[in-house]
Each structure stands twice: as structure tokens, then as C-alpha cells.
Amino acid sequence: MAGQEERKVVIIERKDDPRPASEATPGAPSEEPKGAIEEITSSVRELARTLPESIGRLPGSIGAAIQQALASRDLNVTVHLSEDTMRSIEMLVQAGIFANRSEAAAYLIGEGIAAKRELFEQVTEKIIQIEKLKSELRSLAGRA
């Protein structure tokens, strides 16, 4: 079997078909696209299996930054995006750089914050000053 691809069998059941796949009639409409679906499923599984390794081979610090961004995601946020921004995120997914839009968005947000690190340092300093002033005001009012 040298040079031949290993094929995996995928059984697909339609939600609106009460019969289990084992009882489906051969040649019925639910089985017609089986070859194409198997091919797509196999391709998607292969991509999912090799994606982390592929990301690590991206040039320079891009691969490392992507891996770091994906490893440290544990919070959710809902974001409304423009169509242009969404198209850009979709392109990264379509190119196979990210497995999904969530990963792409997390990476881009992380990179944006890193690019504006100086701004965030200044904001942090101001927040500390504000908290000190609030504390002083509470002390003046006798509400420590």
C-alpha cells in the first residue's frame, strides 16, 4: 500500500432521519456525498492535528507569539467588529494560521496591547494616582 492514502470511514446520520446509520438504505440521499464528506473530514482532522506544529514553525517571533496568546486564553468577551476587521480575521483562519476566529482575535488583541505597551504603562500610573487621591479624600471625610 505504499503511496496510497489511508482513508477513514465516517458515518453521518441526519437529525431528521429516525433510522440509525446502520439501517440506512445504500445509495439513499444521505449517503451520496459520503466520499466528499470523508475527504473534507479527513482534511480538517489533519489540519487540526498539524496546526500547533505549523504555528511553531512560523518565521521569527510570530509563531511563539501565537502559541503564547493561545496558551493563556481563559476568559471570554463579546466584541462587535466592523466588516473589514471581520474579513481580516476570517482571512487568517482561512489561511490556516489560526484554527478559528476566536484564536485569531485573541492573538490580534494581544499584539495590539503589546504594540501600545507604553500607553498601558502610563494608564496604570494614572490609575494608581487616582486610587491614592480617592483614598486621601476618604480619609479627609473620615471614611477610611
Q: Let me know if residue 1 belongs to a domain.
A: yes
pLDDT at 25: 47
Q: Is 82 inside a domain boundary?
A: no
28 or 139: which leads in pLDDT: 139
Single-letter amino acid, residue 133? L
Is 139 part of any domain? no
Q: How many domains does the chain have?
A: 1
pLDDT band at 114 (very low <50, low <70, confident <90, very high): very high
Residue 106 resides in a domain: no
User: What domain range is 5 assigned to?
Assistant: 1-57
> What mean pLDDT value characterizes the chain?
74
Q: Which amino acid is at 32?
A: E
13 located within any domain: yes
The verdict on residue 91 lying in a domain is no
Does the pTM exceed 0.75? Answer: no
Question: Using N-to-C axis directions, what is the helix angle for 83-94 and 101-115, rounded to 10°?
Answer: 110
Whether 20 is in a domain gets the answer yes
Is 31 within a domain?
A: yes
53-61 mean pLDDT: 60
